[in-house]
Amino acid sequence: METILERFSCEEDLEKKIGFRFADGGYLREALTHKSYSNEHPVETAPFNERLEFLGDAVLDLVVSDKVFRTFPELAEGELTRIRAEVVSEKSLAAVARSLGLGRCLRLGRGEQRSGGREKDSLLADALEALLGAVFCDGGLESVRPIVDRLFGEAIAFSARHKIGVDHKTRLQEVLQARHGCPPFYELVQAEGPDHQRVYTVAVLFEGECIGRGTGRTKKKAEQAAASQALGRLEK
């Protein structure tokens, strides 16, 4: 069982890694407390991190959006959206959380510990967002910015450097994979005209819903047009 000294050491190490010392340590403890722990320790009335996760998610989106907007003035909205979605995806957040050793600092219930909660992408990503929410509550937005720069700056640069100029289908798949973990599906709706002047209509579907339609002289062009329309709708 973890001792108070071990917990203090873990929290202190985490503060050093993010470069921020909490004035109110309660925010940090809340960010590191999973609901399963609170349920098993009602006497402590320990608040769990879901509220801070909600706040941190919004703060992270804002800071990353601002950074890519200012860093890449030549990029269109769709490309900025794609970079942000890739950088703040669950997989990306979990990787950053692991680099901080966040998993070992989490307060989890016994069942969650036995099921490997300290290594679950979803728990790590949520805890990282909660941590950023805690920093925002304790130190304000300007305290969050340098932390996001250190933790996500390299990922932002990599995403922009390696993905600029990709086609609409690739962009759409990356955005949907990053946000929801599922790719789109393309369906041929119609083919009209004689063979030498055939026009194709394609619908792009996501979770059974049509999110874009496009036409073209080839199926590939119609799929690109459908993906372009879907990206426009997602950006709005």
pLDDT at 235: 65
CATH 3.30.160.20 range(s) for the chain read 170-235
* 178-209 b/e (C-beta count within 10 Å ≥ 16 → b): beeeeebebeeeeeeeeeeeeebbbbbebeee
Locate the DSSP E strands across the chain.
185-192, 199-206, 209-216
Alpha-carbon distance of 35 to 26, in angstroms, equals 16
Q: Which helix (H) or strand (E) covers residue 99, if one does?
A: helix 90-99
Would you state the structure tokens that stand for residue 31, as one six-digit string? 């960010």
pLDDT of residue 47: 85
Q: How many CA atoms lie within 13 A of 142 on its CB side?
A: 0
The per-residue pLDDT string of the chain (236 residues; one tens digit each, 9 = 90 and over) reads 455 555 668 889 999 999 999 999 999 999 999 988 887 776 666 688 999 999 999 999 999 999 999 999 888 887 888 889 889 988 899 999 999 999 999 998 888 888 888 888 989 999 999 999 999 999 999 999 999 999 999 999 988 877 655 578 888 888 888 888 889 999 999 999 888 788 999 999 999 899 999 999 889 889 989 998 998 888 65
Residues 6+ apart with CB under 8 A from 31: 49, 52, 56, 127, 130, 131, 133, 134
**Beta-carbon-side half-sphere exposure of residue 196 (alpha carbons within 13 Å):** 0
- The CATH number fitting domain 170-235, selected from 3.40.367.20, 3.40.50.2000, 3.30.2130.10, 3.30.160.20: 3.30.160.20
pLDDT for position 167: 76
Say what the pLDDT of residue 82 is: 83
- Give the residue from 182, 221, 184 showing the smallest Cα distance to 201: 221
| Count of alpha carbons within 13 angstroms of residue 216, beta-carbon side | 16
Catalytic residue IDs: 57, 129
- What is the structure's pLDDT at 65? 96
Compute the residue count for the chain.
Answer: 236
Edge-to-edge, what's the strand order for the sheet holding 209-216?
185-192, 199-206, 209-216
pLDDT (0 to 100) of residue 22: 96
In the chain, CATH 1.10.1520.10 covers 4-163
C-alpha distances in Å from residue 221, one per residue of 170, 195, 204: 13, 16, 13
26 φ, ψ to 5°? -60, -35
**How many C-beta atoms lie closer than 10 Å to residue 158's C-beta?**
13
Residue with tokens 């860093």: 71
Please report the pLDDT score of residue 165 as a whole number: 52
**Residues 9, 14, 20, 23, CA torsion sign:** negative
CATH of the domain spanning 4-163: 1.10.1520.10
